[in-house]
């Protein structure tokens, strides 16, 4: 006889998708490391690229299947009443995840400040700094996206689903415009990741932030689709809130990048 559930926590069934996603992310990371130092590992240059491609596809497929399963479970459970314990667990989980991201970027900012203090000229004299105009446009795009997302969230709380959907639509489109502008910036930069410590720390900081913008944009697109399919209520829409927290975090990190990497460099 099955034991009766005497707690408010949801115990998920066994699933292959979380470990499969981890394997994909591991392949992607190791492929990236190998691509930076192919000679040290005695690998053909195509091997890291194959690892990164296979890892990215495997991770994307695993995450898609994993999240689709989770969304199906919460739809089956319904959004009318969410146990307080479960809601708090979700919120603390997202909070600690964002705090881990803060530590991640803090390490790269610390490296940037340390290296800039150790060099007489920063950026080094052999590197032409990126013009401020495109990063300024990107700053306006992200700040505007924060405003449109706040509008969407307030609309969701008020039960105005159409207005919330419009705010989400604007937000993730602004995120895509940011990524296009950053890709244009990279394609016209006069230096690369191999251009000394400045190139390395510049691309690690801005590149990882761009990756976070990409991830946040995907989260907002999913939120927009789920909203259009009737998910959530004005009181229970945690995924919406979590995506908003993450996006505002990305905005704050960019402000730091804009000030210290572009303006005060």
DSSP line for 95-135: HHHHHHHHHHHHHHHHHHHHHHHH-SSSS-TTSPPPPSHHH
- Determine the pLDDT at residue 11: 66
- What does the DSSP assignment read for 164-217? HHHHHHHHHHHHHHHHHHHHHHHHT-S--TTSHHHHHHHHHHHHHHHHHHHHHH
Q: What is the pLDDT of residue 12?
A: 67
The per-residue pLDDT for 8 is: 57
Residue 219: closest CA among 127, 138, 123, 152: 152
Provide block-wise average pLDDT over 10 residues at a time, the chain (265 residues): 55 83 93 80 81 94 88 74 70 93 95 89 86 94 96 94 96 97 93 88 94 95 92 87 96 95 88
Dig out the tokens for 222 from the structure: 């999913």
Domain ranges of the chain: 14-77, 80-263
Rounded distance between C-alpha atoms, residue 142 and residue 215, angstroms: 14
Q: How far apart are CA 194 and CA 202, in angstroms?
A: 11
The pLDDT, as a whole number, for residue 6 is 60
Note the CATH number of domain 80-263. 1.20.120.80
Residue 1 pLDDT: 45
Contacts for 265 with CB less than 8 Å, ≥ 6 apart = 116, 122, 123, 129
pLDDT at residue number 83: 65
């Amino acid at each position: 006889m099955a034991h009766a559930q005497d707690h408010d926590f949801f115990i998920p069934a066994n699933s292959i998708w979380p470990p499969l996603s981890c394997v994909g992310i591991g392949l992607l990371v190791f492929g990236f490391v190998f691509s930076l130092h192919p000679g040290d590992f005695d690998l053909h240059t195509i091997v890291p690229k194959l690892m990164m491609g296979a890892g990215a596809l495997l991770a994307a497929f695993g995450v898609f299947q994993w999240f689709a399963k989770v969304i199906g479970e919460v739809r089956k459970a319904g959004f009318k009443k969410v146990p307080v314990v479960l809601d708090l667990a979700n919120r603390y989980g997202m909070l600690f995840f964002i705090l881990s991201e803060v530590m991640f970027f803090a390490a790269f900012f610390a490296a940037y400040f340390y290296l800039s203090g150790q060099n007489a000229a920063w950026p080094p004299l052999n590197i032409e700094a990126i013009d401020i105009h495109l990063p300024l446009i990107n700053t306006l795009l992200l700040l505007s996206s924060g405003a449109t997302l706040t509008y969407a969230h307030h609309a969701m709380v008020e039960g105005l689903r159409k207005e919330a959907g419009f705010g989400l639509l604007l937000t993730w489109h602004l995120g895509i415009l940011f990524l296009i502008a950053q890709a244009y910036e990279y394609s016209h930069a006069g230096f690369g990741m191999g251009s000394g410590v400045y190139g390395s720390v510049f691309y690690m900081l801005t590149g990882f932030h761009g990756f976070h913008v990409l991830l946040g944009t995907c989260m907002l697109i999913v939120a927009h689709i789920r909203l259009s399919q009737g998910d959530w209520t004005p009181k229970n829409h945690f995924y919406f809130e979590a995506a908003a927290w993450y996006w505002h975090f990305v905005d704050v990190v960019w402000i730091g990048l804009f000030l210290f990497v572009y303006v005060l460099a």
